[in-house]
Amino acid sequence: MIREAIILAGGLGTRLKSVVADLPKSLAPVAGKPFLAYLLDYAGQQGIEKFIFALGYKTELIEAFVKEYLPIGSYIFSIEDQPLGTGGAIYKACRQISEMHSIVLNADTFFAAPFSALAEMQHKQHALCTLALKPMTEFDRYGVVSIGPENSIMGFSEKKWQQKGLINGGVYALSAQQFLQKSFPPVFSFEKDYLEKEYGRDKIMAMVSDSYFIDIGIPEDYQRAQKELPGALSRAIGE
């Protein structure tokens, strides 16, 4: 079991400005409570006991919510003085991880992939990183991830219209200690500059899950979350 999680909550939320003007994406209200609350509820049910929040934009608002929502001692804030990209944010937050492995979550995406299966793949394959992939049909917002024998990552394709494919669901198991031993520039993209460049050298694996997935990064899906997410969370945690 993996007990620690990095939450990437430093995004600007540019595409949601028209519907959520004054809040970071992670605090966008969904059916009466912040989107981040759904993510934390699910992660807690999946065994996460310690959260490291990678923060940048409107840090004080997220800090205030977390301090009210989570027990004292269960969270740490990793604050960027300047935007570091997803990779730089993860790298900085990894310094706060006390165990070998961490779950990494995007704070604008809810993917009910089972953390236990992700951790099992990570440990079994001695992977540096294991991605949770979501099967999807008829889409153009996401690139496709190709997998090979024993669910190893074989490649990434650019965003274009696809009849079907596996997308990166934004949930990872990561060997924090191994990741910190690598050399990166201060600002980099975890997806573009690490995953897509290093999958042929590092052991990067995949775990496929057809669990509920929603990304609230655009207004249309943010509105869809208002209707779907409460029920999806209840089903995911077995209520």
pLDDT tens readout for residues 128-183: 999 999 999 999 999 999 999 889 999 999 999 999 999 999 999 999 999 999 99
Q: Which string of b and e fits 28-63 if b means at least 16 CB within 10 Å? A: bebeeebbbbbbbbbbeebebebbbbbbbbbbebbe
**Pairwise CA distance, residues 71 & 25, whole Å:** 22
pLDDT more than 70, % of the chain: 95
pLDDT of residue 58: 77
pLDDT of residue 13: 53
pLDDT more than 90, % of the chain: 87
What values do phi and psi take at 192, rounded to 5?
-80, -45
Question: Where is 126: in which H helix or E strand?
Answer: none
Of residues 233 and 21, which shows the higher confidence score? 233
pLDDT of residue 23: 82
User: Is the model's pLDDT at 20 over the cut of 80?
Assistant: no
pLDDT of residue 204: 97
pLDDT of residue 238: 83
- Band of pLDDT at residue 195, cut at 50, 70 and 90: very high
pLDDT of residue 218: 86
In the chain, the amino acid numbered 46 is Q
pLDDT of residue 17: 55
**Pairwise CA distance, residues 104 & 101, whole Å:** 10
pLDDT of residue 149: 83
User: Is the model's pLDDT at 21 over the cut of 70?
Assistant: no
pLDDT tens readout for residues 37-72: 999 999 999 999 999 999 987 789 999 999 999 999
List 208's β-bridge partners, or say none: 133
User: Is the model's pLDDT at 212 over the cut of 70?
Assistant: yes
Between the CA of residue 204 and those of 170, 180, 185, 186, what are the distances in Å? 14, 15, 20, 22
In the chain, the amino acid numbered 234 is S
What SS3 class is residue 6?
Answer: strand
CATH no., domain 4-236: 3.90.550.10
23 near 35, Cβ under 8 Å? Answer: no
